[in-house]
Amino acid sequence: MKRAYLFPGQGAQYPGMGKDLFDQSEKARELFRRADQILEFSITDIMFEGSEEDLKQTRVTQPAIFLHSVILAEIAGESFHPDMVAGHSLGEFSALTAAGALSFEDGLSLVFKRATAMQAACELNPSTMAAIIGLENELVEEICESIDEVVVPANYNTVGQIVISGSHAGIDRAIEMLLEKGARRALKLPVGGAFHSPLMEPAREKLAAAISNAPIAPPRCPIYQNVDALPHTDPGKIRENLMAQLTSPVKWTQTVQNMLRDGAREFIEVGPGKVLQGLVKKVDREAQVGSL
């Protein structure tokens, strides 16, 4: 039975996250302290003592979730033995680091550059996202294409649940049209911008430059990447997919389906929250899920 390890993305953060790891493990304390040095501010203070509002800032949220996930995998030691890994959006960087393709320092530096580039892109292009529940993928795609604004599928989260991304006017129009077509729910998300859409192009350009200079090694197991939902071990292809990730949809449903096809029967979520476990169960009720 193959085991897949899954790493969550933005939205899984909570006040006090990681404090238990810091208190229990010398290895965790060492990595958290190193993170403060790399980032040149005390992210540990914000994670352990900050408010929900403090943690919502993209430049804090992304490195905080990365740290929680990667440190969990690190202190698990030999019990962290994946046959395959995947990460949702930001979680792809956590997965690559936990699987040895990126060093801790390089992974954290890339995540922080990603977060600051995304925050800048959000300020440049005011935009948003919305969750659409209860419609087939093809119908959502068709409606998005018909709108004369930037609106695209951003996250294929699970069967019957897609997040769309775009301009405020485009998302408003899409919600109206999708509800008319029978969507059970269509609601805006409390996010700062249109992630995984063409509006993230300024951020993609900044991040691509950093990714091109980061050393990437072959991971110790295949990583199923967001852009194509396929397993990869070649550093060149991993790099190419990472560069495309910010402006491409997260093919999460397809990723889980492909992992199941390739023999995964147990899915372990590594990081804060249980969102990914729930998404897996909606794809395959028989799949075993758990957390590290």
Residues classed as catalytic: 89, 196
For 216, the enclosing helix (H) or strand (E) is none
Phi/psi at 7 (5° precision): -120, 125
Helix axes 235-244, 91-98, angle to 10 degrees: 160
Of the candidates 132, 143, 129, which has an alpha carbon nearest to the alpha carbon of residue 197? 129
DSSP state of 265: E
Strands ordered across the beta sheet of 84-87: 231-232, 223-224, 84-87, 2-7, 264-269, 288-291
How far, in Å, are 107, 127, 129, 138, 251 from residue 118 at the CA level?
A: 16, 12, 14, 28, 20
Of the candidates 228, 143, 152, which has an alpha carbon nearest to the alpha carbon of residue 196? 152
For 130, the enclosing helix (H) or strand (E) is strand 127-133
How far, in Å, are 9, 266, 282, 287 from residue 254 at the CA level?
A: 17, 17, 12, 15
Token output for 76? 């698990």
Centre a 10 Å sphere on the Cβ of residue 42 and count the other Cβ atoms it contains. Answer: 16
Q: What's the CA gap between 188 and 190, in Å, rounded?
A: 7
Instruction: Say if CB 132 and CB 222 are below 8 A apart.
Output: no
Pairing label, strands 2-7, 84-87 = parallel
Q: What's the CA gap between 157 and 131, in Å, rounded?
A: 10
